[in-house]
Amino acid sequence: MRPRVLLFALAAAVIVVLILLGVADEFLIDLLWFSALGFKPVFLTAFFARIAVFGVVFIIAALAFYLSGVIALRFSPDRERLRVVRFPEDLRQLSLPDVIRSLGERVPWRLLIGAAAVLLAIFAAVGESSNWDIYLKAIYASRFGVAEPAFGRDAGFYVFTLPLLTEIRDLALLLIFLAAALSAGVYWARGALDFREAPPRFSSAAAGQFSVLLGLFFVQRAYSYWLSRFDLLFHTDGVVFGFRYVDDVLWRPGLWLLVGLSIAAAIICFSNLGPRGVWRMVFAAVIVFVPALILNLLQPVIESLWVKPDELRIERPYLTNNIRLTRDAYKLDAVDVVPFNTRSDLTMTSMEQDAPTVKNIRLWDPRPLIATYRQLQEIRLYYDFRDVEVDRYWIQGNYTEVMLSARELNPDLLPENAHTWVNQHLKFTHGSGIVMSPVNAKDSEGLPVFILSDIPPVSKVGLSVRQPGIYFGEEPDNYAVVKTNTPEFDYPRGSDNVFGYYHGDDGVRISGIIHRLLFSYYYRDLNLLVSDTIQPDSRILIRRNIRDRIARLAPFLIMDHDPYIVLHDGRLSWIIDCYTTSDRFPYSQRNADQINYIRNSVKAVVDAYSGRTTLYVADPADPIIQTWQRIFPALFQPLSAMPAELRQHIRYPEDMFLVQADIYATYHMTDPQVFYNREDVWGFPRENYGGETGTMQPYYVIMRLPNEPHEEYILMLPMVPRGRDNMISWLAARCDGNQYGRLIEYAFSKEKLIYGPYQIQARINQNPEISRQISLWNQMGSRVIIGNLLVIPIKNSLLYVEPLYLRAENGQLPELQRVIAAYSDRVVMADNIDLTVQALFKSNQMAAPAVVAASMPSAKPPPAAAPLPAGGMRTAADHYDRALKALRAGDWSGFGSEMQQLGEALQSPNGHQ
């Protein structure tokens, strides 16, 4: 007997533990993780906010539901025949269901009503607690200092307070509906309400209670109509986003009318107690919803008969408000407009004066370069380069733009037979170092010149990576247990491997049966519980994907699509640009993502080795981040606290720039008449890559802006008139020093045609010499890849540069073989950027053998050459065949030698060398 009791007790204990773990595992893991990061106050603030919202809503809802149910119980006796109301007939008798009559008072009605009220209250409270952030933002709201002209309220009211008022409106409607449903259930169960007939029959007591609930509904409608006045500032139809003329003359007074009528309807319903029927309830609904319908019918009439005939004059003040507040919301009011009067007076001397710009023209496109990195530097099959970043470093005293990528480790790439728990979670735990190469350098074979490469990292220019381990990165999340008695794979050395141990203090302690049981259940992995490799000081590193890490730490931030890794102070860190956004900024136009306010408020930094995460406030003037700082004071640090060397690598984020450029394409027009007529709408230029046409993306360059003394790192994008390909302007975002964040529009004269990237690409394709050379390569077992064309402003001129890569037809190793450039009416192709520039600006000199130069339009065709004798043809053919074989084998030196001999054979009168 005793063993059986013990067995049952043990089983019960296991069941209880599993239930508790199922409820609490996420909570406890989060608590441990936030505590390990030093952000326990952040977790507790959010947790207690959820509890507070849940508790308040639960108490209010439970009391409301219970009161409504008890009232229904009180006025629905089950021992007598009830007088009922049938709409639209007079009162008539209804017999109670036999089952209810038989049960009578034996049913514990109050207990059942209490249980139902608790369950319904939990349902409402759980849903509302997920909106804890709305409550906190309203409580800690900051002012924007921008008043909208319709109601004179600060923009902060719409961003912070109005969402809470809307949430309360929706919650009130839910509570009224659920209270009515519970009351109806009680009346039905006790026979005072019959749904079997249409229309339903119900008692006079039920009619009285439903009248009160309907009155509460009309109070909610009055509140809703009052709030709807502020929603007028977010209308999306018509020529104006936000408050329009029809809103001003029709809906502003009309909504006040509906507020008054809803209050009147509520009073009518409250007075409908006793045996008065449902006519008053019907009348209350009519006096509210019929005027609302009439107002909706009046709107198109006013727009057609009054607004449309003179729309610009009538809507002009509202258009002005829309333009002003949209530019404010997207931070476009600070864009400096600078005339860019293009000239064609560049010389070799002027190019030498802008040597830093020329030497940093990016020739390596990230798309083919990632394949080259993978072929040359992954070293082992389990390493992975996910993408290529662009950044700038001071290298041997020169401000240099570079390409770089992190060598991460993906355990899923291990051989199938090596997919053991020890390998995936204890041994193969981290990547190793980065690779880096200048944006414009190549070796004799057309491959990138590495200034940082290999494992351990080796640098020829003095860069030092003292801590190359990458435990946190962009790879899919995979937990790792460190400081175990199993050594971790560090890096390969020849045919051997070097092993080591994690030396940081980060991560969550996993020693102890409680922690091991918790993590074992959380990951559904029994090995964490039973493995004997875990030591007392072992730690588990979780949420190692940096995007997931930030999303859990600060879910209210929107992350840029492109985190980038930075080498600073001998360590590697990830920088992720984060945004605060809103869709509730008054009058502001929403973009394709349905936001109408954005700021790059936070630079998140994650240490690649330790995972230590820091959120630096990059835009302290942003009211949204000010509000979050009030809510979570321990979460943020000022940008001035960022290490100096790391701060040199912050950049203007691409996603932010794209959003601003997209809106600026229309909202650069500040004159309401020009804006109304859409006379000068812009777009993004087109470009060709891989045989497909797409939209040109912004790109980072080091260049000297017009009238500036030094080169700097900027993000830029040409702009074209919508539907056309010629350039109309170019936008630049400055990234360095005190000029960080400054936006500039360099505007071209509208009286002069400036070729856009797509037009220059077409002229390159039409150039006979370049086209002939590309066709020859494509016929010789190689595939030509044309990189992205860059527009490089130099002084008051534009230089167009495009790289050309060759890749074996079945190979994965693109090589930079030529550089194409266009300026004024000339297009040239040469082996590197220096030869290309020389060919452009030293037209009186004979081009080097590796240069193909042609003017536009093309020059007269050369005189026909005399035919070769048969022997000469055979010799030339032999050289050509050997050149093809060398090309297919990837032997570029042999290919060049044979092509040179082919040329000599063709130039020889007898066709012999």
Q: Tell me: the pLDDT tens digits for 501-512?
A: 999 888 999 988
> What is the pLDDT, as a whole number, of residue 219?
97
To the nearest 5 percent, what fractions of the chain are helix, strand and coil?
Answer: 45, 20, 35
- State which of 659-673, 676-690, 885-899 shows the largest mean pLDDT: 659-673
Q: How confident is the model at residue 274 (pLDDT cuts 50, 70, 90)?
A: low
- pLDDT tens, 205-228? 788 889 999 999 999 999 999 999
> What is the pLDDT, as a whole number, of residue 37?
96
- Largest CA-CA distance found in the chain, in angstroms, rounded: 126
- pLDDT tens, 181-201? 999 988 888 877 766 665 666
Q: How confident is the model at residue 12 (pLDDT cuts 50, 70, 90)?
A: confident
> What is the pLDDT, as a whole number, of residue 187?
87
- pLDDT tens, 671-694? 999 999 999 999 999 998 877 889
- The C-alpha R_g of the chain, in whole angstroms, comes to 36
> What is the pLDDT, as a whole number, of residue 692?
84
Q: How many CB atoms lie within 10 A of CB 95?
A: 10
Q: What ranges make up the beta strands (E) of 132-265?
A: 193-194, 201-203
For a pLDDT cut of 70, what percent of the chain falls above it?
Answer: 87
Q: How confident is the model at residue 912 (pLDDT cuts 50, 70, 90)?
A: very low
Check whether 870 has a pLDDT greater than 50.
no
Check whether 91 has a pLDDT greater than 50.
no
Question: Rounded to whole angstroms, how far apart are CA atoms 517 and 531?
Answer: 12
Question: Rounded to whole angstroms, how far apart are CA atoms 568 and 464?
Answer: 9
Check whether 855 has a pLDDT greater than 70.
no
Q: How confident is the model at residue 890 (pLDDT cuts 50, 70, 90)?
A: low
> What is the pLDDT, as a whole number, of residue 689?
83
> What dihedral do alpha carbons 590, 591, 592, 594 form, nearest 10°?
-40
Q: How confident is the model at residue 339 (pLDDT cuts 50, 70, 90)?
A: very high
Question: Rounded to whole angstroms, how far apart are CA atoms 227 and 236?
Answer: 18
2-37 and 513-522 helices cross at what angle (nearest 10)? 80
With b for 16 or more beta-carbon neighbours within 10 A and e for fewer, the 121-132 pattern comes to beebbeebbebb
SS3 630: helix
For a pLDDT cut of 90, what percent of the chain falls above it?
Answer: 72
Check whether 708 has a pLDDT greater than 60.
yes
> What is the pLDDT, as a whole number, of residue 101?
45
> What is the pLDDT, as a whole number, of residue 200?
63
Check whether 900 has a pLDDT greater than 80.
no
Nearest to 159 by CA among 210, 233, 223: 233
Mean pLDDT, the chain, whole residue set: 88
Check whether 887 has a pLDDT greater than 60.
no
> What is the pLDDT, as a whole number, of residue 543?
96
| Average pLDDT of the segment spanning 308-329 | 97
> What is the pLDDT, as a whole number, of residue 80?
39
Check whether 393 has a pLDDT greater than 60.
yes
Q: Which letter does DSSP use for residue 867 in this model? A: P
| Average pLDDT of the segment spanning 320-333 | 97
Find all residues with CB under 8 Å of 26, minimum gap 6, and list them: 522
Q: How confident is the model at residue 884 (pLDDT cuts 50, 70, 90)?
A: low
Using CA atoms, how far residue 40 sits from 26, 29, 541, 604, 615, in Å, is 15, 12, 17, 18, 15
Check whether 466 has a pLDDT greater than 70.
yes
Check whether 3 has a pLDDT greater than 60.
yes
- pLDDT tens, 728-740? 999 999 999 999 9
Least confident of 116-120, 517-521, 676-680, 905-909: 905-909
> What is the pLDDT, as a whole number, of residue 196?
62
Check whether 749 has a pLDDT greater than 60.
yes
Q: How confident is the model at residue 888 (pLDDT cuts 50, 70, 90)?
A: low
> What is the pLDDT, as a whole number, of residue 879?
66
Q: How confident is the model at residue 56 (pLDDT cuts 50, 70, 90)?
A: very high
Check whether 869 has a pLDDT greater than 90.
no
SS3 807: strand
| Average pLDDT of the segment spanning 850-877 | 44
Nearest to 333 by CA among 715, 593, 741, 668: 668
SS3 730: strand
Contact 415, 403 (CB under 8 A): no
> What is the pLDDT, as a whole number, of residue 779?
80
Check whether 87 has a pLDDT greater than 50.
no
> What is the pLDDT, as a whole number, of residue 383?
95
Contact 196, 127 (CB under 8 A): no
Q: How many residues does the chain have?
A: 913
| Average pLDDT of the segment spanning 17-45 | 88
> What is the pLDDT, as a whole number, of residue 906?
56
Question: Rounded to whole angstroms, how far apart are CA atoms 517 and 665?
Answer: 57
Question: Rounded to whole angstroms, how far apart are CA atoms 25 and 30?
Answer: 8
DSSP string of 50-107, one letter each residue: HHHHHHHHHHHHHHHHHHHHHHHHHT--SSSPEEEEESSS--EEEPPPHHHHHHGGGS
Nearest to 596 by CA among 851, 114, 241: 241
SS3 280: helix
Side chain identity, residue 359 = K
| Average pLDDT of the segment spanning 608-624 | 97
Cis peptide before 456 (omega within 30 of 0): yes
Least confident of 127-141, 625-639, 694-708, 767-781: 767-781
| Average pLDDT of the segment spanning 279-301 | 94
> What is the pLDDT, as a whole number, of residue 902?
64
> What is the pLDDT, as a whole number, of residue 47?
96
Tokens 């209050």, located at residue: 263
More confident of the two residues 658 and 777: 658
Cβ neighbourhood burial of 468 (10 Å; 0-12, 13-18, 19+): buried
> What is the pLDDT, as a whole number, of residue 121?
97
> What is the pLDDT, as a whole number, of residue 17?
72
Check whether 910 has a pLDDT greater than 50.
no
Check whether 104 has a pLDDT greater than 60.
no
